[in-house]
Amino acid sequence: MKTKKGFTLIELLIVIAIIGILSAALLPTILNAPGKARDSARILNISSIATAIEAWNADNGAYPPNVGDGCISEIFGAKAINYFSGGNIPEDPSKGRSDASLTCVQNGEYYYKYIGDPAVAQYILATEMELAQTNNSTVDPTSVSGTTPPDTSCTSDCTYYIEVQ
pLDDT in tens, 142-159: 888 777 778 888 888 888
* Band of residue 114 on the pLDDT scale cut at 50, 70, 90: confident
pLDDT of 119 above 60: no
The rounded percent of the chain whose pLDDT value lies above 70 is 96
Q: Is the pTM of this model over 0.85?
A: no
pLDDT in tens, 88-104: 888 888 877 777 888 88
What average pLDDT does the segment 27-36 reach? 81
CB of 24 within 8 A of CB of 17?
no
Residues 6+ apart with CB under 8 A from 154: 135, 136, 137, 138
Residue 107's pLDDT is what? 86
The rounded percent of the chain whose pLDDT value lies above 90 is 9
Q: Of 75, 68, 102, 100, whose CA–CA distance to 90 is shortest?
A: 75
Half-sphere exposure of 86 (CA within 13 A, CB side): 4
Residue 120's pLDDT is what? 62
Rounded to the nearest integer, the mean pLDDT of the chain is 84
Residue 35 burial (10 A CB sphere; 0-12, 13-18, 19+): middle
* Band of residue 17 on the pLDDT scale cut at 50, 70, 90: very high
Task: State the Rg of the chain over Cα.
Answer: 24
What average pLDDT does the segment 74-90 reach? 85
The DSSP line for 1-70 is -----S--HHHHHHHHHHHHHHHHHHHHHHHHHHHHHHHHHHHHHHHHHHHHHHHHHHHHSSPPPP-TT-
Residue 16's pLDDT is what? 94
Residue 149's pLDDT is what? 76
